[in-house]
Amino acid sequence: MNNKSDLLCLGAGYTAQTMMKLYPAKKMWGTTRTTEKASAIEAVGATPVIFTGQTPSEELSPILREAENILISISPKLDGGPLLKHHQEDLLANKNLKWIGYLSTVGVYGNHDGEWVDEYAETRPGSDRSLWRKRTEDQWIALNKEHDIPVHIFRLPGIYGKGRGPLEKLKAGKARRINKEGQVFNRAHVEDIAMVLETSCHNPNPGAIYNIADDEPAPPQDVLAYAAELLGVETPPLIEFKDAEMSKMAKSFYSDNKRVSNKRIKEELGIKLKYPTYREGIKACL
């Protein structure tokens, strides 16, 4: 992020706060649904803005008309993303806009039976959450084509980093090693995500879609075993997927099996991941 420009983060949660902390802009704003989370946004040097996503925000409207860089990480619902629903006119009125980043999910690819997928692979979202993300992606791409809005789509896997990930699950006694034959997941350290977003800001390519993922898709039970070894705690026992008691949402994650390629961020943006596998990432979290 150029320290001479500004940044508005819609949904200033874990990833957005990491970006604002590591790459502070000249002026920063972060939206939150409630005032309870305002102090965390202030702690990274940003101004909190209330936006519930249910109704338009008078406070947000003038910022949207002026901000140069906008990061969107608000989860969509059935009817699409709340920003386009309530504030599309404000966005179209912005003459300063240089970059928009929309954070989506690799879940839009659906199941590919463990095969590699890149940004040109077929999307076949298998859950409502992924379907809503894909619909919102399409809305943003249409806005790019129809109004020349500088939109960039970033598809993310499981996000981990300091304060979030397998170490925390083990410490809380909530870690379960579930084995499903052939199942792998990609991950991304939050600092690597922030680096990709910041780099894209300097190298805009409106309409582009990028996967942000690590180099090594891995079975989740192996990741937890490694984390337990680092912590020096007992490795949780292995539970077969067919025997595991899981919520409907938890089971839905295991219905998609794919290996996500990060080739484009390396070739186009020159990215060298700080944490190329879960091993480097989890060690850093210690």
Any domain includes 227: no
- CATH number of the domain where residue 54 is located: 3.40.50.720
Confidence at residue 172, expressed as pLDDT on a 0 to 100 scale: 94
CA 239 from centre of chain: 29
Q: Which residues, other chains included, contact 178 with Cβ-Cβ below 8 Å and sequence gap of 6+?
A: 220, 221, 238, 239, 240, 241, 244, 246, 254
Any domain includes 181: no
Any domain includes 268: yes
Any domain includes 232: no
Segment 199-256, tens digit of pLDDT:
999 999 999 999 999 999 999 999 999 999 999 999 999 999 999 988 888 888 899 9
Any domain includes 262: yes
Confidence at residue 4, expressed as pLDDT on a 0 to 100 scale: 73
In the chain, the number of structural domains is 1
Which percentage of the chain shows pLDDT scores above 70? 99
Burial 241-259 (b: 16+ CB within 10 A, else e): eeeeeeeeeeebebebbbb
Any domain includes 224: no
Confidence at residue 1, expressed as pLDDT on a 0 to 100 scale: 60
Segment 14-39, tens digit of pLDDT:
999 999 999 999 999 999 999 988 99
Segment 82-93, tens digit of pLDDT:
999 999 999 999
Any domain includes 57: yes
Q: Which domain holds residue 206?
A: 6-160+187-215+258-276
Any domain includes 173: no
- The answer for 173, left when phi > 0, alpha when psi is -120 to 50, beta otherwise, is left
pTM metric for this prediction: 0.96
**DSSP letter for each residue of 119-142:** TTSPP---SHHHHHHHHHHHHHHH
Segment 114-127, tens digit of pLDDT:
999 999 999 999 99
